[in-house]
């Protein structure tokens, strides 16, 4: 009887300490993705990323990225979050091209490596905000364009990236890695940030709530 009681106690401890790491929905205090501070220039330095939903808007997924030192006046910035659902890669992004004249592009959808330009095959969305006071970028994504997940389904392989482009080639889509190498040598900082720390690392899973 004593052994049985001990076993029950151990099970309870496991389910109340280990399972919530993947079962509890994320928020700013409990993000799915975290990143080291100071490993990129502040305006593209990712602090954390979290997924969430709202009972009053069950057909949308909200994806938030927090930037350490936001600066909307620096043009040619790209912020993206990716994940996998049912073996398919999805993502959302904000691209700031010429913010001084209000040129922002919000998108979300399936990521297809063979798409034109070798990048994401996204739908344009008009539901996004960048709060400069908090550094929080929020994408409001219709679930129907990201696989239409159901309650209990799991989004896996969560990760994020942010980078800065320069010059004319940057305007037409090239990130010019050599400039990033020079910036690292001269300033000891990067024009490209990954969260978690490397492109082959992933954050926690997210379980669809509604």
Residue 78: closest CA among 58, 104, 53: 104
Backbone phi, psi, residue 199, to 5°: -65, -25
| Two structure tokens written together for 69 | 């030192």
For 74, 161, 194, 195, the CA distances from 188, given in Å and listed in that order, are: 19, 19, 16, 19
Assess if residue 47 is contained within a domain.
Answer: yes
Taking only the tens of pLDDT, the chain with its 210 residues reads 444 444 433 344 433 343 334 445 678 999 999 999 988 888 999 999 999 999 999 999 999 999 999 986 777 888 999 999 999 999 999 988 764 555 788 889 998 765 544 455 677 787 799 998 999 999 999 999 999 999 999 999 999 999 887 655 455 444 555 555 555 555 556 788 999 988 789 999 999 999
Assess if residue 6 is contained within a domain.
Answer: no
Assess if residue 194 is contained within a domain.
Answer: yes
Assess if residue 92 is contained within a domain.
Answer: yes
Assess if residue 22 is contained within a domain.
Answer: no
Assess if residue 11 is contained within a domain.
Answer: no
Compute the C-alpha angle 103/93/76, nearest 5°.
45
Q: Find all residues with CB under 8 Å of 133, minimum gap 6, and list them.
A: none
Assess if residue 71 is contained within a domain.
Answer: yes
| Two structure tokens written together for 173 | 């889509």
Assess if residue 168 is contained within a domain.
Answer: yes
- Residue 150 lies in domain: 27-207
| Two structure tokens written together for 83 | 């994940």
Q: Is the pTM of this model over 0.75?
A: yes
How many structural domains is the chain composed of?
Answer: 1
Residue 60: closest CA among 162, 159, 137, 138: 138
């Amino acid at each position: 009887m004593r052994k049985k009681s001990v076993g029950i106690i151990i099970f309870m401890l496991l389910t109340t300490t280990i399972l919530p790491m993947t079962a509890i929905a994320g928020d700013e205090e409990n993000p799915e993705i975290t990143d080291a501070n100071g490993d990129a220039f502040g305006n593209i330095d990712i602090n954390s990323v979290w997924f969430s939903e709202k009972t009053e808007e069950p057909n949308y997924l909200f994806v938030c990225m927090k930037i350490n030192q936001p600066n909307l006046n620096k043009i040619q910035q790209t912020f993206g979050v990716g994940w996998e659902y049912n073996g398919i890669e999805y993502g959302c992004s904000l691209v700031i091209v010429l913010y001084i004249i209000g040129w922002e592009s919000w998108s979300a959808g399936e990521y297809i490596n063979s798409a034109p330009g070798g990048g994401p095959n996204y739908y344009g969305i008009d539901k996004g905000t960048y709060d400069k006071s908090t550094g929080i970028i929020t994408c409001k994504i219709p679930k129907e364009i990201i696989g239409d997940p159901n309650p209990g389904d799991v989004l896996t392989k969560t990760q994020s990236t942010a980078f800065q482009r320069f010059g004319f080639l940057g305007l037409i889509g090239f990130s010019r890695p050599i400039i990033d190498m020079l910036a690292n040598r001269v300033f000891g900082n990067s024009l490209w940030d990954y969260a978690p720390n490397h492109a082959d690392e992933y954050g926690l899973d997210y379980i669809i709530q509604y």
